[in-house]
Amino acid sequence: MNAILAVARRDLLMVMRRKSEVLTALFFFVIVTSLFPLGIGPEPTLLRKIAPGVLWVAALLATMLGLQRMFAADHADGTLEQMAISPTPLVMLVVGKIGAHWLVSGLPLVLIAPILGIQFDLDASALGILVVALLLGTPLLSLIGSIGAALTLGVRGGGVLLSLLVLPLFIPALIFGAGAVEAHISGLGAGGHLSLLAAMLALAVFFAPWATTAALRIALE
């Protein structure tokens, strides 16, 4: 447990020393979501309709921005080797890294999303559902993304490959995440969508670190 926290703390500390990487993804999210109301014009019904989809797609793309860096630096400077031969199981250290990744790339999106949602004329309860859906969905993105990041480690042109690999896997999160907000707006209730999102998250929490660990071991050989 201490080792997990140590890895997470180390990654967070390094992000604090180099803030631009986190801010880039956050500004990307803000700007992309702000372009839609500006481009479409003030049509509240249309904006309300596209809001969940736009916010979710922007969140997916913003997550993609930092994904490649998840293990790249550790691979380049030999830290990954040390993690692989550490007495602490590699899978635990991977959990720590995924946790840190979510804290710096997922959580800020969740926190700023309600402010951006106002641009789309979403009411308070819809914003609440949006936050809950993102809170369940963004860790899912970090977990699935970590598998892709580990698989494309050390591959030339890995960035493009990573997008091709990971974006299709993000589709279920997108469907149920955006669907939750839409279902709430149309009066159907978001419970079903959120439950499915939570189920996917539970599944990913269990399996993704193992898959990532296996991929990292292949990358190290």
Partner 1 sequence: MLSAHGLTCVRGDRRLFSDLDLTLQAGEWLHVRGENGAGKTSLLRLLAGLAQPADGDIRWCGEPIDNAQDYRRNLLFFGHHGALKEDLTALENLEFAAAMDGASLTLEVALRALQRFGLKGREQLPVRVLSAGQKRRVMLARIATRNATLWILDEPFTALDVKAVDLLSTLISDHVTGGGMAILTSHQTMPIPGGRVVQL
Using CB under 8 A, list all residues that contact partner 1: 2-3, 6-7, 9-10, 13-14, 17-18, 73, 76-79, 81-88, 93, 220-221
Least Å distance, CB 87 to partner 1, is 4
- Cβ proximity to partner 1: between 79 and 163 the closer is 79
Least Å distance, CB 77 to partner 1, is 5
One-letter amino acid at 78 equals G
Nearest to 24 by CA among 73, 56, 63: 63
- Cβ proximity to partner 1: between 5 and 199 the closer is 5
- Cβ proximity to partner 1: between 49 and 69 the closer is 69
Contact (CB, 8 A) for 62 and 26: yes
∠ CA 83-103-119, rounded to 5° = 150
- Cβ proximity to partner 1: between 19 and 202 the closer is 19
Residue 175 CA: distances (Å) to CA of 21, 158, 172, 178, 197 = 28, 26, 5, 6, 9
Distance CA 117, CA 201 (A): 24
Least Å distance, CB 182 to partner 1, is 42
Query: CA 18: distance to chain centroid?
Result: 19
Least Å distance, CB 4 to partner 1, is 10
- Cβ proximity to partner 1: between 57 and 103 the closer is 103
Contact (CB, 8 A) for 127 and 136: no
Contact (CB, 8 A) for 119 and 183: no
Least Å distance, CB 156 to partner 1, is 17
- Cβ proximity to partner 1: between 74 and 182 the closer is 74
Nearest to 150 by CA among 93, 79, 94: 94
Least Å distance, CB 104 to partner 1, is 14
